[in-house]
Amino acid sequence: MTHRYIKVGLTAAVLVLAFAGMLWSTLREGTEYYKNIDEVMTNTEPWQGKQLQLHGYVVPNSIFVKKDTLEYRFKVQNNPARSSEAGNVVSVTYKGIVPDTFKDEAEVVLKGKLSPEGFHTDPNGVMAKCPSKYEAQEKSASAGS
């Protein structure tokens, strides 16, 4: 009987180790942190080179497009209401097509990596939304009720 328990125990241990190894190797590569600008920019060292999703708002008049290319440079901050204050701001580089709603003060989520020069966004790594576009529809819909 003890021989049978040893076989069952070893089989269970091998299965658990195989599952844990597979889970660890899969999650290690796909781990992505979702952070606000202020969380990252207060201490940038731990975030250097890590895959991030960075949430913020485009700083007004900071969007620069290189002529005849799809290379964008702009700045992102945590809160548009604090634009007059000296808050945390990060410089962003991106090469590709931006969403239609990408403009000054747009809320954005950027996928990429932080470096000493700024945030380098992955291809298709800019997601933007325009809250004012949706607020007007909500107000008119509630007015009709």
pTM above 0.75? no
For residue 1, what pLDDT is reported?
A: 63
Q: Tens digit of pLDDT per residue, the chain (145 long)?
A: 688 889 999 999 999 999 998 888 777 666 778 888 888 888 888 888 888 899 999 999 999 988 888 899 999 998 766 555 557 889 999 998 888 888 888 899 999 999 888 899 998 889 987 655 555 554 555 555 4
Of 34, 72, 73, 85, which Cα lies nearest the Cα of 56? 34
Of 20, 103, 23, 90, which Cα lies nearest the Cα of 52? 90
Of 75, 126, 121, 73, which Cα lies nearest the Cα of 97? 126
